[in-house]
Structure 1
Amino acid sequence: MSAYRYRFLFILACCVGLASCGNERLESTFSPTPSAFGKINSLVVIADSSTWKAGVGDSVAYFFEAPYIILPQPEPIFDVRFIEPGRVVAEPTWGQLRNYIVLADLSDTDSPTTQMVLNDLTDEKIQQVRTEGFGTAVAKNKWATGQQLVYILGKNHNELLTGMSNVYPGVVRRLQQGEDERMRVTTYFEGVNRRLGDTVRQLAGASLEIPGGYDRVPLDTDSVIWLRKEVQGASLNIMVTKVPYRSQDQLSKAGLKEIRNRLGREYVSSTTENTYMQINDTDLPLFTESTELNGAFAIEGRGIWEIENDFLAGPFVSYLLNDTEDNELVFVDGFVYAPGRKKRDLMEEVVQVIRSATVN
């Protein structure tokens, strides 16, 4: 182990500073004046109270409030709020948010939500749903600029429930794509630190768009680059290194785990003696999958880190990229320490940076 080991202070004092929607046939645009607002990864569901209580609310919770993978304490992929359509009229602020899902049972012709849908969508679309049993549609900017509404429609209650279970993956992807764009703007609102980007490229053989606000943590080696950004009550961290490619076995869950645990043991500790970072895949699983990142084959890993012999932990995401031209593997890891804070959006910010990685 290196004679000089950077002691990472895990204490708050250091932190001062839808690709497709199934049967979708319509995409219309309204002409509003105000600009939409709202927190990232928030979602408003518009439906009748009777529909919501008759099983739709449970389905929405299952599909759209599923746990974000992976955090020490469960947090949903979306923060969902339910309202009836009348509230948009009574309280116009409800109509100026960004993401909406409208759930309608067309068999209930007296339903305020059905009346809203009949007013918004074409007769052709409504007839298609009544003929086929189910359908979806998308509209933009109904009440404010920069918002989208996904309509999920059933000719009756059962068709609505069944159809929702079939199309929700596409709806989630569509919503996440829009939120991903917003998160990128948030991540890079201070611009790009090209100096740090050049350092990563020269030392680690990878290009990375480093946002403003990150600083390089001093280590006694140039083989590992550690970048850190302090925000109120949290620390965002990115580590980059490269290792020689020896065999295909390295591009695996075991290979990713070995590299990450080695870096944690050698470079990351708390103020307590005999402490080091390691993956905790006993209490929560280490999820890995093969993927492609900017043209390079990669293994993505998500899990929980902890400090051995201390009581500190948090989420991480890692990418192990295959640089076939230089016969090397590039390892890019991001982790968050944020005791007492929700971590989903912090992790999403780190992921934005890591997914900019390309091998040279």
Structure 2
Amino acid sequence: MSRRFSLLFSLSLLFLFFLSACTEDVQRTLQPTPSAFGQINSLVVIADSSTWEAGVGDSVAYFFEAPYILLPQPEPIFDVRFIEPERVEAEPTWGQLRNYVVLADLSDKDSPTTQMALQDLNDAKLQEIRDNGFGTAVAKNKWATGQQLIYVVGTTHDQLLTGLGQAHPGIVNRLQEGEDERLRVTTYFQGVNRRLSDTIRDELGVSLDVPGGYTRVPLNADDVVWLRREVQGASMNIMVTKAPYEDESQLSKEGLKAIRDRIGKEYVSSTIANTYMRINDEDLPLFTEATQLNGAFAIEGRGIWEIENDFLAGPFVSYLLNDTTNNQLVLVDGFVYAPGRKKRDLMSEIVQVLRTAEII
């Protein structure tokens, strides 16, 4: 009996040990990968401090912290933070953000960032970099789902700087494409206001996806629709109007300015008498460029508005569309009034709405 009990006890211990080990493996296997988080338009740059301080930091500031066009007070395209790779291991939260640019110099064999690049990039990519002197690569979901890491790697420090200089336009575009997807979710988190969208379609002949949260500002006009959304510390506004097409000269900076200043003077004022909205292109320029918007030729304009005879001002974005079907021009315009508050992300949301404009 004693030997039998001892044998059963030993087998029980062995089973429990086996079960414990299997459970530990299953838990380790099923451990959920965290979801990436972080503010919109934020970027983490991973590099060694020696690389950062030897000119790379200045290049990053020049390429990724350039001013967002166009705001009354300069705000960067991206909010950039620099960290060394060791911090990701020491503080796992640093590995759960969305956007990373990794800068590595292959000539520095002892560099933790170089070791990270050598581990993450395949042999073919590394050979391509060695052949060309520099190169880029993209990795997804290294530490968390929904994140991307863009590697810029040079065979020397100078080649790294050269590669960064040549690659940065593509990197900026890639980052902005990803942020645009997040902005669309943020902009339309309340869905689309079909009633207001139908109103614009019926009255002005243009399709526009109006987000929930906007209301119509009462106007005594049949050719202008003004929408407004109040958020904490800011007023977000969208105006849509039409004008007869007369000649090609209207599709220009001067043509856009004339239509926008007309509706600003007629419909927008402050509580002070003899005030009205106008474009201020004396203190800051009015930037315009030709573009295509959902199949229609358009002039995009970015600048600063102000209230004449008062002290109110802010940024705006306009699209002047050529409606050839109805022989008219359609202006979709968005502007923000947010004194003392950063305006970049607010304007980015408005741009998301304006870019849904389509002639019907």
Question: So what's the TM-score if we normalise by structure 1?
Answer: 0.91
Structure 1 residues without counterparts, runs of 5 or longer: 1-30
2-side partners of 1:205 and 1:333: how far apart?
15
Question: Which residue matches 2:11?
Answer: none
Query: Is residue 214–residue 229 contact of structure 1 (8 Å, CA) maintained in 2?
Result: yes
Query: Is residue 64–residue 76 contact of structure 1 (8 Å, CA) maintained in 2?
Result: yes
Q: Deviations over 1:156-211 (max 9, x none)?
A: 00001011111100000000000000000000000000000000001111000000
Query: Is residue 67–residue 74 contact of structure 1 (8 Å, CA) maintained in 2?
Result: yes
Q: Deviations over 1:107-163 (max 9, x none)?
A: 001000000111111122112211210100000000000000000000000001011
Q: Map 1:78-227; keep pairs closer than 5 Å.
A: 78-227=78-227
Question: Which residue matches 1:318?
Answer: 318
Query: Is residue 32–residue 142 contact of structure 1 (8 Å, CA) maintained in 2?
Result: no
Question: Which residue matches 2:22?
Answer: none
- C-alpha deviation, 1:32, in angstroms: 7.2
Identity of aligned residues (%): 77
Letter of the 1:237 partner, please give it: N
1-side partners of 2:127 and 2:116: how far apart?
16
Question: Which residue matches 2:307?
Answer: 307
Q: Deviations over 1:48-69 (max 9, x none)?
A: 0000000000000000000000
2-side partners of 1:54 and 1:131: how far apart?
24
Q: Deviations over 1:329-350 (max 9, x none)?
A: 1110000000000000000000
Larger helix percent = 2
- C-alpha deviation, 1:275, in angstroms: 0.6
Letter of the 1:162 partner, please give it: T
Q: Map 1:204-353; keep pairs closer than 5 Å.
A: 204-353=204-353
Aligned residues: 330
Q: Deviations over 1:280-313 (max 9, x none)?
A: 0000000000000000000000000000111110
2-side partners of 1:122 and 1:224: how far apart?
57
- Cα RMSD after superposing both structures: 0.9
2-side partners of 1:337 and 1:287: how far apart?
19
Indicate the SS of the match to 1:210: coil
Letter of the 1:84 partner, please give it: E
1-side partners of 2:103 and 2:344: how far apart?
27
2-side partners of 1:211 and 1:127: how far apart?
49
2-side partners of 1:56 and 1:349: how far apart?
31
Which structure exhibits the higher relative contact order, with contacts defined as CA atoms closer than 8 Å and separated by 6 or more residues? 1
Letter of the 1:187 partner, please give it: T
Indicate the SS of the match to 1:115: helix
Structure 2 residues without counterparts, runs of 5 or longer: 1-30
- C-alpha deviation, 1:221, in angstroms: 1.1
Query: Is residue 32–residue 141 contact of structure 1 (8 Å, CA) maintained in 2?
Result: no
Question: Which residue matches 2:49?
Answer: 49
2-side partners of 1:54 and 1:342: how far apart?
31
Query: Is residue 41–residue 179 contact of structure 1 (8 Å, CA) maintained in 2?
Result: yes
2-side partners of 1:251 and 1:122: how far apart?
50
Q: Deviations over 1:23-50 (max 9, x none)?
A: xxxxxxxx97000000000000000000
Greater Rg by CA? 2
Indicate the SS of the match to 2:35: coil
Query: Is residue 293–residue 355 contact of structure 1 (8 Å, CA) maintained in 2?
Result: yes
Indicate the SS of the match to 2:63: helix
Question: Which residue matches 1:8?
Answer: none
Query: Is residue 98–residue 147 contact of structure 1 (8 Å, CA) maintained in 2?
Result: yes
1-side partners of 2:205 and 2:328: how far apart?
9
Indicate the SS of the match to 2:36: coil
Question: Which residue matches 1:357?
Answer: 357
Question: Which residue matches 2:77?
Answer: 77
Indicate the SS of the match to 1:199: helix
- C-alpha deviation, 1:222, in angstroms: 1.9
Q: Deviations over 1:253-272 (max 9, x none)?
A: 00000000011100000111
2-side partners of 1:126 and 1:111: how far apart?
16
Indicate the SS of the match to 1:59: helix
Letter of the 1:103 partner, please give it: L
Question: Which residue matches 1:27?
Answer: none
Indicate the SS of the match to 2:167: helix
